A = this chain, B = another copy of it.
């Protein structure tokens, strides 16, 4: 679509922004389609895999639903849905939150950790779909994206 926009509005800064934004969206879609297919081999979606990664690397090994939603940048309803499916698969357990009776913590199980490692190995085997970039290109791309994240006040950047 960016080519059409450029034809209409000319190559000024705003159409540069449109072109870059469109490209970011497109590349994310291409990667997500690939990652979903890979996660699917292990009975997961990429979103559920991301939740497992988050839990596996959380300091206390457990996270509240609200924190999961926040970190994954998904709606609380989606976070609940993701965790419910992981619980049904035996990859996550719910434990009560002692300080909030209505809340609950999610904890990754051994089976969840194994599934996560299996997906990770497959993603690594295809270089996370980014084998067309050499190390310098990776560093340049990461830095440019970091500039965007800092500018957008990403708490993790």
Q: Given the known A-B contacts A4-B57, A23-B146, A26-B156, are A139 and B31 also in contact in the complex, defined by CB atoms under 8 Å?
A: no
Do B149 and A27 touch across chains, with their CB atoms under 8 A apart?
A: yes
Interface size bucket, A side?
Answer: 35 or more
Do A140 and B144 touch across chains, with their CB atoms under 8 A apart?
A: yes
Complexed CA–CA distance, A148 and B27 (Å)? 7
For the complex, would chain A's binding face be called helix, strand, loop or mixed by DSSP majority?
Answer: helix
Complexed CA–CA distance, A17 and B137 (Å)? 10
Q: How far is the CB of A41 from chain B (nearest CB, A)?
A: 18
In the complex, chain B residues whose CB is within 8 Å of the CB of A152: 27, 30-31, 34, 129, 132
Q: Given the known A-B contacts A133-B148, A150-B132, are A139 and B23 also in contact in the complex, defined by CB atoms under 8 Å?
A: no
One complex includes copies of this chain to the number of 2
In the complex, chain B residues whose CB is within 8 Å of the CB of A151: 130-133
The reply to whether the CB of A29 lies closer than 8 angstroms to some CB of chain B is yes
Do B140 and A21 touch across chains, with their CB atoms under 8 A apart?
A: no
The reply to whether the CB of A54 lies closer than 8 angstroms to some CB of chain B is yes
In the complex, chain B residues whose CB is within 8 Å of the CB of A135: 13, 16
Q: How far is the CB of A138 from chain B (nearest CB, A)?
A: 4
